[in-house]
């Protein structure tokens, strides 16, 4: 019975935090607000998480993995390298920045508050880059596989996603992303002179 209560508290905390982060952003959300939304005390949150950043990462991992799961499913019905790569880039540079009222902006905001001596785990990013590299392998020509070594291309796509996310958070959806996605496909696949 105790285990169910712990799981219920954890789930209520994450649900409250997700809604608050989505609506008012990481910077404007406090642990007190999260605890009030979850119907618990702030002290209770600290039994499960060390900080607001830990709460955010507990949400972000499943959130980002769900997006990549959906991408993998979508790719099973997409024929052609160009179309598959376009879907990957669209997911990285439009879906992630815009989904759930720009939820990804919270990660950017949170990381921008860290001081140089504060450490955070890059485990999630490395895991996601590995997954993305495997998806990219299905649409890149073999002579471009060197871009997948050490997840270099995947890292670049996540960095691009961060840029589009900042743009979305500040001014809304990019008006140039579709053209940029198409140009990037052409560059990677050598399919058209720019």
pLDDT tens digits for range 124-142: 999 999 999 999 999 999 9
Domain ranges for the chain: 1-49, 52-189
Claim: this prediction has a pTM higher than 0.75? yes
What pLDDT does 79 receive? 94
| Burial of 102: CB neighbours in 10 Å, binned 0-12, 13-18, 19+ | buried
What pLDDT does 6 receive? 85
Architecture of domain 1-49: Orthogonal Bundle (1.10)
User: Cα-atom radius of gyration of the chain, to the nearest Å?
Assistant: 19
Long-range CB contacts (within 8 A, 24+) of 7-15:
9/38, 9/40, 9/44, 9/47, 9/48, 10/48, 12/38, 12/39, 12/40, 13/38, 13/40, 13/45, 13/48, 13/49, 13/55, 14/55, 14/58, 14/59
pLDDT over 60 at 30, yes or no: yes
């Amino acid at each position: 019975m105790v285990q169910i209560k712990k799981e219920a508290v954890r789930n209520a905390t994450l649900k409250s935090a997700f809604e608050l982060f989505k609506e008012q952003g990481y910077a404007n959300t406090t642990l007190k607000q999260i605890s009030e939304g979850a119907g618990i005390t702030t002290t209770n949150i600290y039994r499960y998480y060390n900080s607001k950043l830990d709460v955010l990462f507990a949400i972000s991992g499943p959130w980002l993995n769900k997006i990549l799961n959906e991408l993998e499913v979508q790719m099973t019905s997409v024929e052609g390298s160009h179309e598959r790569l376009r879907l990957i880039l669209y997911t990285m540079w439009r879906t992630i920045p815009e989904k759930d009222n720009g939820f990804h902006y919270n990660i950017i905001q949170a990381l921008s508050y860290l001081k140089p001596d504060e450490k955070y785990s890059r485990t999630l990013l490395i895991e996601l880059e590995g997954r993305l590299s495997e998806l990219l392998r299905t649409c890149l020509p073999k002579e471009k596989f060197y871009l997948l070594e050490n997840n270099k291309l995947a890292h670049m796509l996540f960095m691009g996603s961060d840029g589009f996310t900042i743009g979305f958070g500040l001014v809304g959806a990019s008006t140039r992303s579709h053209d940029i996605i198409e140009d990037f496909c052409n560059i990677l696949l050598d399919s058209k002179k720019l």
